Amino acid sequence: MTETGATLLHAPRADDDDLARLLLIRHFELALLDLFGRGELNGTTHTCLGQEYVPVALRRLLTEADFVFGNHRGHGHYLARFDDPAGLLAEIMGREGAVCAGVGGSQHILRDRYVSTGVQGESLPVAAGVALHLKRTEPGTLACVFIGDGTWGEGAVYEALNLASLWRLPLLVIVENNGIAQSTPTTRQMAGTVRARAEAFGVRHHGIESSDLSTIRDELAPLVSEVRIEGRPLVAEFATHRLGPHSKGDDTRDPEAVRHAQAEDWYRLYGEADPERFARADEAQRARVEAIVREVSARPPSRWDP
């Protein structure tokens, strides 16, 4: 794959629940950038603007018994699994009710079977261990790891893929290939392709160009089921776009590249497909996030006893 771009064969569809979740994540991320702009947040954050549909598509292919590993750009991964924007915002703002007492912040979250860490590639061997445990104790469940195209620079990825393929572990690797690793275009950091790398380990690869939830689910459902039942690891690579900066105000891309990403933004495509319903849902989530920001900002600081 040399070009990335979410293309659609037909108008995208989402039921009310999916649409609400997509828009929740979008408005959550926009609210974070706004909070940063106003100096209300400590540290840094990585928004998933443009990529929200990936974890939302996956959520109906996964069960509560599956482990999910998010990453440094993980707000969407978390919110697709838990309808808990207040808990996540409190975590990011260090307020009472934070998922991890404000210790982990944006990048380090553990809740039930959801885990994220901030080091590229580190999660893959860990997920392989979790998959081994699940295979032995809860057959039919899997470990799902979200990584980016940049993560493929890390050796840990290959050590884990080799183990997973060799030992037939139920490992599902979701690659959000947004064409850029922080500030470095994928074409300047990756030789060859994700597909060829996966296949070199005997791991099946499936590329997804669409941002339509039902298309994605139809394509992935039988493959995910093979991961569960046959312990056959899968790399599912989404051609997607990062609309925002890597963290905040550090976007050095050509404005043309950003415009191209915006043109293919699921938000625009879904909006055009069903304008009235979309507008209502959009306003509802915007207002919901606005209220949560107000409520969480007023909370006292989180407490932690190390």
Partner 1 sequence: MRVGENLNAALHGLLESDPSAYVIGEDILDPYGGAFKITKGLSSRFPDRVLGTPISESGITGLAAGLALCGDAAVVEIMFGDFVALAFDQIVNFAAKSVTMYGSRVPIRMVVRCPTGGGRGYGPTHSQSLQKHFVGVPGLSVYEMSPLHDNRAVLDAMLASGGPCVFFEDKILYTRRVNDVGDLFRHDVVPGGGGGADVARVFLDDPEAADCVIIAPGGMVDRAVRAMRDLLLEQEVTCCLLVPSRLYPFDAEPLLPALRGARAVLVAEEGTAGGTWGSEVAHQIHRLMWKDLRRPVALVSSADSVIPTAAHLERAVLVQDSTIHDAVLEALRD
Considering only residues 11, 65, 119, 287, which one is a binding residue for partner 1 as defined by CB under 8 A? 119
Shortest distance, CB of residue 141 to partner 1, whole angstroms? Answer: 11
Q: Does 160 bind partner 1 (CB under 8 A)?
A: yes
Cα atoms found within 13 Å of the Cα of residue 199, Cβ hemisphere only: 9
State the chain's maximal CA–CA distance in angstroms.
53
Nearer of residues 103 and 273 to partner 1, judged by Cβ: 103
- Here the contacts of 282-286 (C-beta below 8 Å, separation 24 or greater) are 282/23, 284/20, 284/23, 285/20, 285/23, 285/24, 285/26, 285/27, 286/23, 286/27
> Which backbone phi and psi does 299 adopt, to 5 degrees?
-75, 155
Site string for partner 1, 129-148 (x = CB under 8 A): xxxxxx-xx-----x-----
Establish if 185 lies at the interface with partner 1 (CB under 8 A).
no
The one segment of 33-41, 52-60, 99-107, 274-282 that binds partner 1 by CB under 8 A? 99-107
Distances (CA, A) of 133 to 97, 185, 260: 31, 36, 43
Place of tokens 């690869």: 205
By beta-carbon proximity to partner 1, the closer residue of 69 and 270 is 69
User: Does 127 sit near partner 1 (CB under 8 A)?
Assistant: yes
First to last CA, the chain: 46
Q: How far is the CB of 103 from partner 1 (least distance, A)?
A: 5
Shortest Å, Cβ 302 to partner 1: 8
In the complex, which residues of this chain contact partner 1 (CB under 8 A)?
Answer: 98-104, 108-110, 115, 117, 119, 122, 124-134, 136-137, 143, 155-156, 159-160, 162-163, 166, 304, 306
